């Protein structure tokens, strides 16, 4: 079985970029051996593939793999210099400002509390929620989810960091239970040519459908 060609966002001799679905594992972890990861699935057609970064289980969007060990090492050695990740998400409530930066330090595994920055722009305001675009200059664990929770506007339907009362109302109205966090765009210098690449992934259909309904409220 081969991945749907429409999910291949970029491919050359060095890199492969794929549109990850919400509910997919990028790489198999402990206790997840019963579910085939995206990496294992892709390796059937792309042997030698190496993951360059990961997205959380619930997050959809752009994920990039190296086609060779040398390319993977080049990216890691560069410490991902020049990489810019842009996400789109739905947060609870009406944001008081059209744009801003959240710099709440966050706990990091093995490093204690470390600096973190999320720069956001409000794309659309709905009755009781906002569509927000967020760039992260650091990649802390659950950074976007934790940062928006820290300013009182958690991701809708986020059961770990969100508002359970608001989530219940949203689930009742829209019959959905998964939060929306989409890695919409990734820009970075090509590890071989140095040319700036910008790779984008379209919004999932379910996400688009919710936005259409929210606009009618």
Residues with a catalytic annotation lie at 56
Beta strand 129-136 pairing with 84-92: antiparallel
Are the beta carbons of 14 and 66 closer than 8 angstroms? yes
Task: List the beta bridge partners of residue 160.
Answer: none
3-state secondary structure 4-34: CHHHEEEECCCEEEEEECCCCCCCCCCCCCC
Give Rg (Cα) of the chain: 18
CA-CA distances (angstroms) from residue 167 to 42, 99, 128, 157, 174?
A: 35, 24, 12, 5, 10
């Amino acid at each position: 079985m081969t991945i749907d060609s429409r999910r291949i966002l970029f491919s050359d001799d060095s890199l492969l970029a794929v549109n990850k679905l919400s509910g997919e594992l990028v790489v198999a972890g402990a206790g997840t051996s019963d579910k085939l990861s995206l990496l294992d699935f892709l390796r059937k057609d792309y042997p030698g593939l190496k993951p360059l970064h990961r997205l959380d289980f619930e997050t959809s969007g752009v994920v990039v793999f190296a086609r060779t060990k040398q390319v993977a090492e080049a990216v890691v050695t560069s410490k991902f210099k020049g990489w810019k990740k842009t996400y789109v998400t739905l947060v609870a409530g009406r944001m008081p400002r059209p744009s801003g930066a959240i710099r709440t330090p966050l706990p990091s595994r093995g490093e204690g509390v470390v600096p973190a920055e999320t720069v956001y722009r409000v794309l659309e305001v709905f009755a009781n929620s906002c569509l927000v675009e967020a760039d992260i200059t650091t990649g802390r664990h659950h950074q976007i989810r934790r940062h928006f929770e820290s300013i009182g506007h958690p991701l809708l339907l986020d059961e770990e960091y969100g508002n359970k009362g608001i989530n219940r109302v949203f689930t009742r109205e829209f019959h959905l239970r998964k939060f929306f966090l989409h890695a919409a765009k990734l820009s970075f210098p090509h590890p071989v040519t140095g040319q700036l690449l910008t790779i984008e992934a379209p919004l999932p259909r379910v996400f688009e459908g919710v936005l259409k309904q929210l606009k009618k409220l």
